[in-house]
Chain A
Amino acid sequence: MSIVELKDVNFVYGQGTPYEINALKNINLTVEHGSITGLIGHTGSGKSTLVQLLNGLLKPSSGQVLIDGTDIWAEPKKIRDIRFKVGLVMQYPEYQLFDETVRDDIAFGPKNMGLDEEEIKKRVIEAAEFSGLDSALLDKSPFDLSGGQKRRAALAGVMAMNPKLLVLDEPAAGLDPRGRREILGRIRTYGRESGTSVMIVSHSMEDMAKYCDRILVMCGGQLMMEGTCAEVFSRYNELIEVGLDVPQITKIAAALKKHGVDIGDDVYTVNFALARVAEFMGLSLDQIEGRLHHGS
């Protein structure tokens, strides 16, 4: 059973008005349990709409959204339960913090779930740890934290609900390179260790390549591509055609091929490219072990 299954999903904004926009057209897709999926596309490609369909903030105009095998709109009154199953971290989530202490804020979701005190306490600490938030900060006001810390606190607030699927809309937006690396690394570790399925929406192809297993590409309200990073980025020509970018290293690999060094089309991170080059040069993997920088 897949964690997400979309069957013929359509979504129309302002149905029946002159401003009608067909934001999603006939989307069919599945996301496997425990995977880390990247969702890419232009602004207005329908990816934000898709994300809001997953946790029932929006209801499809037609078609079915299945989470963990159940149609989330089978019982519309229970839609709130879906939100606990599918945790959504919106863009710039730090702007949703409101409670007196970071601890209370992280506990907001679990409290709404009706969990008991002990469980809530446990979850807050766990979530703070996963998001990389120093436990000394838990009793501070969320408004006294730095930008990066606020982001982590907001992230922890959703993680604490122990969702089966964690969806993040541009979790690294506006952060500096180190901040990006840290937060995306944390999210990946969280997915791996807790077994939670993760979906990351991002514009950064480099980040997608580094942190995701599979990639979905949206374009004009339709699902344009789906596959592993290698599969998707090897079709870089199509991506560039619709105005999306590919990691620069993928383009470098393509250019290398033209100059007689074929390291494959499915190259999407620098380290991967270097390993392929080493192979091409006839170096064995242990010969290069430790020589590659892990700065990225």
Chain B
Amino acid sequence: MALDISIGQYFEGSSVIHKADPRVKLISVILYITVIFLAKNMFSFALLILSAIALIIISRIPIKIITKGMKPLILILVFTAILNIFWLQGDTLVFEFGIIHIYLEGIMTAIFMIIRITILLIGTSVILTYTTTPIALTDGLEQLLEPLKKTKLPVHEFSMMMTIALRFIPTLIEETDKIMNAQKARGADIGSGGIMQRAKALIPILIPLFISAFRRADELSTAMECRCYRGGEGRTRMSKLKLRAGDVVFAGTFIVLGALIIIINIYAPGFNLAY
């Protein structure tokens, strides 16, 4: 009974975002990132926060999962904040102690940066990773990059490799687990001692793992040949991605959001970020 290993972070669901065309989602993410970097004052940031909340609600991804995904980012956030607070100089001094000068601008910038990074992460994960299966993602990417095929870029091969990698990640994780257990059963001491010792202890795990991966690759390539695989040429797809009205609206929303933010940036008063 192996652990339940899920690929990527895909969270099963049937929301509008889940159903959107992966190509549209990819484009939307790019749009959203642009929008996030366009926001420059309090009102536009407020709108950004609202948009992120809306995304979470629409996607129906539990907030717990999203906060869990944020955890590794805390360090970066704290670091960015400190950097901004202590180094940024402005007009309004709030605190002074020896060589330390803290300005209001620094604090505001720090807050804005934190909001920006957080929303960036929520945006990409809600629009893409949580709501799109890896295979849909590679499919979308392949078809989005289709025009590049004319330039002889191996777009199909790249996407095939991605698919196979995704397919075999769980298999290899399971395999690693098995080999580790087998070597532990022979008294292998994994994860103790100095760096050299630890590195050495990995050999009995890595060698069988590589050999098994090569064997699998070999068998898989034979199986693929038996199934008449001969590269991307002349290949058709079962599921042709088709754009629906909903997809256009989906991407359109982000354009409207961008336009709103630009307008707010220009006309609304309030604190303005320098960058």
Contact = CB atoms under 8 A, between A and B. Distances in A.
A–B in direct contact per CB < 8 Å:
yes
Interface of A: 13-14, 19, 21, 23, 44, 48-49, 52, 55, 57, 80, 83-84, 87-90, 93, 95-99, 108-109, 112-113, 143, 157-158, 161
A161 B186 contact: yes
Given A13-B1, A112-B189, A95 B208 contact: yes
Contact of B185 (A14, A23, A48, A83): A83
Given A23-B1, A96-B208, A80 B185 contact: no
Contact of B182 (A14, A48, A96, A112): A96
Contact of A108 (B181, B186, B211): B186
Given A57-B181, A95-B178, 9 more contacts: A55-B185, A80-B189, A87-B185, A90-B178, A95-B179, A96-B182, A96-B204, A108-B187, A112-B186
Contacts of B188: 108, 112
Nearest to A112: B187
Contacts of B204: 96, 98-99, 108
Interface string B1-40: 1011000000000000000000000000000000000000
Contacts of A113: 187
Interface string B154-186: 000000000000000000000000110111111
A192 B4 CA distance: 40
B4 A95 contact: no
B4 A19 contact: yes
A174 B153 CA distance: 43
A112 B200 CA distance: 13
A13 B181 CA distance: 16
Nearest to B192: A80
B208 A98 contact: yes
Contact of A90 (B4, B182, B187, B211): B182
Given A14-B4, A90-B178, A95-B208, A158 B187 contact: no
Interface in B53-85: none
Nearest to A143: B211
Contacts of A143: 211
A154 to B, nearest CB: 8
A98 B207 CA distance: 6
A187 B207 CA distance: 27
Smallest CB-CB A-B distances: 7 pairs = A112-B187, A98-B207, A96-B182, A88-B185, A109-B186, A90-B182, A98-B204
B182 to A, nearest CB: 4
Contacts of A93: 182
A114 B145 CA distance: 58
Interface bracket on B: 20 to 34
B203 interface: yes
B148 to A, nearest CB: 40
Q: Looking at A49, A84, A112, A158, which has the most chain B CB atoms within 10 Å of its CB?
A: A112
A147 to B, nearest CB: 12
B253 interface: no
Contacts of A87: 185
30 contacts: A13-B1, A14-B3, A14-B4, A44-B1, A49-B1, A52-B181, A55-B185, A83-B186, A83-B187, A89-B185, A90-B178, A90-B182, A95-B182, A95-B211, A96-B182, A96-B183, A96-B208, A97-B208, A108-B183, A108-B186, A108-B187, A108-B188, A108-B204, A109-B186, A109-B187, A112-B188, A143-B211, A157-B186, A158-B186, A161-B187
Interface string B235-273: 000000000000000000000000000000000000000
A94 to B, nearest CB: 9
Nearest to A23: B1
Contacts of A99: 204
Contacts of B212: 95
A18 to B, nearest CB: 10
Nearest to A18: B4
A44 B184 CA distance: 23
Contacts of A90: 178, 181-182, 185
Contacts of B179: 95-96
A80 B203 CA distance: 19
Nearest to A157: B186
A64 B106 CA distance: 60
Contacts of A97: 208
A226 to B, nearest CB: 22
Contacts of B185: 55, 57, 83, 87-90, 158
Nearest to A86: B185
A138 to B, nearest CB: 17
A202 B207 CA distance: 28
A180 B17 CA distance: 54
B181 A48 contact: no
A44 B3 CA distance: 13
